[in-house]
Amino acid sequence: MPVLGRDTSYHDCRHCGYLQTESPTWLDAAYAQAINDCDTGIMSRNWQNVGRVIMTLAAYRRLDGSVIDHAGGYGILVRSLRDAGIEARWRDKYCENLLARGFEAGEEPCDLLTAFEVLEHMIDPVTELQHMLQQAPVILLSTELIPGAATPSSDWWYLGPEHGQHIGFFRLSTLRAIAAKLQCRFASDGERIHIFSRSPVPRSWALLQRLGRFWPLVARLKLEPKIMSDFYRMSKNPKARAD
């Protein structure tokens, strides 16, 4: 199958169900720009992810907790979470922070680490997840699961051969095997939203994910928007800071 014009083979593991490209020698070309032109769902996905994060924090009873968005892109999610009242921080080695400047994260501990549309970009996802779990007890992530046991056909949209950034693909069996290797708990909506947790995943998590569209109500009742407090924090005006 061609990836960015290169003939590429895919390897489908019969044991865990992981599908991976051959060694990706094309990544420099694939990441000439961090966000590819085909990502037309970037805004709607981030809007949905605000609800997924808030409802996950609610399930763990940690709405006052801290969040780091790993590979946070332009900072859309972090700025949206802060606007809703969540203490969120941005981190991305490969993309410019356009919307969450001043709220960058390092390696400090946090209560929840998010990695939306990240896992399929990783050469070694197990090692990456292991490192994330050293920073946060809970990882909330998204990746589209392979539909069925058969190797997906070349027209499966998530393969993304036109941009070449997706190099690894998962089934539920793959993610469960990773959780077992990492000695943590795992839950999933069975399609694209998944959670790895050092502690048991609350029973309410799955239900609250289905109710994610109601996050504005939760935010209005339980959270204080950080729009103005962030403004005063970032303002160059000494009087504004004093006020």
- The answer to whether the CB of 4 falls within 8 A of the CB of 12 is no
**9 pLDDT more than 60:** yes
* DSSP strand pairing (87-91 vs 66-70): parallel
Give the SS3 label for residue 188: strand
Q: For the domain 2-242, what is the CATH code? A: 3.40.50.150
**240 pLDDT more than 90:** no
pLDDT at 22: 95
pLDDT at 242: 44
**126 pLDDT more than 80:** yes
> Which residue is associated with the tokens 């941009």?
163
Segment 187-234, tens digit of pLDDT: 999 999 999 999 999 999 999 999 999 999 999 999 999 999 999 999
**84 pLDDT more than 60:** yes
Mean pLDDT (the chain) is 94
The residues with which 87 forms a beta bridge, in sequence order, are 66
**138 pLDDT more than 80:** yes
pLDDT at 237: 63
**2 pLDDT more than 90:** no
Per-residue pLDDT, averaged over 26-32, amounts to 91
Per-residue pLDDT, averaged over 43-64, amounts to 97
Give the SS3 label for residue 226: coil
Half-sphere exposure of 102 (CA within 13 A, CB side): 11
pTM of the predicted structure, to 2 decimals: 0.93
